[in-house]
Amino acid sequence: MPTYDYKCKSCGHRWELFQSMTAKPVKACPECGKKTAERLIGIGAAVLFKGGGFYQTDYRSESYKKAAAADAPKADAHKADTPKAESTPKPEAKKAEPASKPAKGPKPKGD
């Protein structure tokens, strides 16, 4: 809810009033009681951020943007060098070892 500035045309008293945007302007002056008060058009208040969100310090600095732009071509070149998943050759089936080679393991008992 915004804060509005008011001024009495009769006595010149000025005050602020915290009220809803949809509320009708106040006419009665709290100082003199006459119904000659008017809502003033002000410059508005500064924006107040609360909670999570973007703040002025959350935006990237110019040095970061320049460094990111310098790294971009390198990243694109790396992507071009790597093969796509569709064109990657399938691994060959493991070849069986020759039968003449003795099997490793414990020797059978009884020989």
CA 10: distance to chain centroid?
Answer: 51
pLDDT at residue 13 is higher than 70: yes
Within a domain: 80: no
Q: For residue 40, give Cα distances in angstroms to 16, 35, 43, 80.
A: 10, 15, 10, 63
> Distance between CA atoms of 42 and 16, rounded to whole angstroms?
11
Within a domain: 36: yes
pLDDT band at residue 21 using 50, 70 and 90 as cut-offs: confident
Q: How many domains does the chain have?
A: 1
What is the arithmetic mean of pLDDT over 25-45?
Answer: 87
Within a domain: 30: yes
CB of 70 within 8 A of CB of 37?
A: no
Within a domain: 86: no
Task: Quote the domain boundaries for residue 11.
Answer: 1-75
Within a domain: 38: yes
What's 36's DSSP letter? -
Of 37, 31, 28, nearest to 9 (Cα)? 37
- pLDDT at residue 20, as a whole number: 87
CATH of the domain at 34: 2.20.28.10
Q: Encoding tokens for residue 4? A: 């509005």
Within a domain: 94: no
- What does pTM read for this prediction? 0.39
Within a domain: 88: no
What's 73's DSSP letter? H
SS3 (DSSP) at 78: helix
Within a domain: 83: no
pLDDT at residue 79 is higher than 60: no
Specify the DSSP element, H or E, that contains 16: strand 14-18
> Distance between CA atoms of 35 and 28, rounded to whole angstroms?
4
Least confident of 44-48, 69-73, 74-78: 74-78
